[in-house]
Structure 1
Amino acid sequence: MQIANDTVVAIDYTLKDDEGAVLDTSEGKQPLSYLHGAGNIIPGLEKALEGKAAGEEVSVRIEPADAYGERREELKQAVPRNLFEGVDNLEAGMQFQAQGEGGTQIVTVVAVEGDQVTVDANHPMAGVPLNFDVKVVEVREASGEEKEHGHAH
C-alpha cells in the first residue's frame, strides 16, 4: 500500500540541521505514527512521503516555508516581569504556555532585564532548513475513528 490521504504511516526518522547536528530522532524508540493528510507532521515531509510504501527510504531537505515557517521578528516582544507569577528564577531559555490571539502557544524567554522579559513566540525551528532521513516502516488504511479524530491511534 502506498502513502496517501487517510492512511496511517509509521516511520523511523533522523532530523538534522545543515551542520549535521541531530535535532531529533526515533532511534531507540517506537516509530512515529501519523495520519497522512491530517496535518499531523510538517507539510514538506508529508509531501515527500506521498506515494511511498513500507520499506522505502527517503532523504529530503525541507525549507523553512514547508516546515515551521520563517522567523518573524514581530513574534518577539517585551512583557512585564509580573506576568510570570510564582517563577522566582526566570532565565533565558525557559519556555511557557501563553494565551495569544490564535489560542495557546509556547513562548521562549530570550532575555530578562529588570522588570522586562523578552519572549519569542517563534517555533524553535522556525527559519531552519530541516534534513530528514526517513524509513517507512508501515502503511495501512486508517480506521473510521482515526479519520474522525484526525490522528493515528
Structure 2
Amino acid sequence: MKKVEQNNKVKVHYTGKLESGEVFDSSEGREPLSFTVGAGQMIPGFEKGVLGMELNEKKTITIESEDAYGDRRDDLIQSVPKSQLPEDLNPHEGQQLQSQTSTGQVIPVVVTNVSEEEITVDANHPLAGKTLVFDVEVVGIDE
C-alpha cells in the first residue's frame, strides 16, 4: 500500500478542532484539501502528521502550538490612538481590521479593546497558543 512521503501531492479530508472539541475548520461538504508535503504550505505539525499515512487511512493528529501557529506573543498586541484611525471607522471589540507595516506588508488584526482615546489590536493568529486536533483521512496520493 502506498504511503505519504515527502514531496507527494496529497488530498485529505479533515476536521480541525480545539482541545475542547470546538470545530474551527473542516473540509466536510467541500473538495478535499490538496497540498505538497514538505513545501511549507501547511503548518509543520499537519505535514508531519500525514507522513507515513496510507491511502484511505483515517487518523487523529494532535498538534502543539509550536508546530501549529506558535505561541501567543505580547509584542503583537498594540494600542493605537483613535486619532490615527480613519474618521469613518467606528471600531468595536472583535472587529477584524488590516494594518500596514512600514514595509507595506498588510497584517490582519482583531480589535480587543476600545476606550475613549484608543483601541487595542491583536495581530496574533486566532489559533496561536492553542493545541489543535485534526481528524484526517488521506483520499489521494500523487508522486
- When the two structures are superposed, what TM-score results if normalisation uses the length of structure 1? 0.84
Q: Which residue of 1 aligns with 2:108?
A: 106
Q: Which moved more, 1:85-94 or 1:36-45?
A: 85-94
Helix, strand or coil: the match of 1:117?
A: strand
Tell me the SS of whatever aligns to 2:34: strand
**1:82 partner SS:** helix
Q: How many Å apart are 1:63 and its aligned residue?
A: 0.4
- CA-to-aligned-CA distance 1:88-144 (integer Å, 9 cap, x gap): 321111112222368332111101111211000110000110011000010112xxx
Question: Aligned letter for 2:133?
Answer: N
Q: Distance in 2 between matches of 1:106 and 1:35?
A: 26
Name the counterpart of 1:125: 127
Equivalent position of 2:26 in the other structure: 25
Residue 119 of structure 2 aligns with an amino acid whose one-letter code is V
In structure 2, runs of 5+ residues without a counterpart are: none
Q: TM-score, normalised by structure 2?
A: 0.90
Q: Identify if the C-alpha distance between structure 1 residues 101 and 49 changes in structure 2 by more than 3 Å, giving closer, same or farther.
A: farther
The alignment of Structure 1 onto Structure 2 pairs a total of residues equal to 141
Q: Give the corresponding residue for 1:144.
A: none
Structure 1 residue ranges, 4+ long, deviating more than 4 angstroms after superposition: none
Aligned to 1:63: 64
Specify the alignment match of 1:38 in structure 2: 39
Match of 2:138 among 126, 131, 136: 136
Contact kept? 1:53, 1:138, Cα under 8 Å: no
Percent identity over the alignment? 42
**Residue 48 to residue 92, structure 1, CA distance change in 2 (3 Å):** same
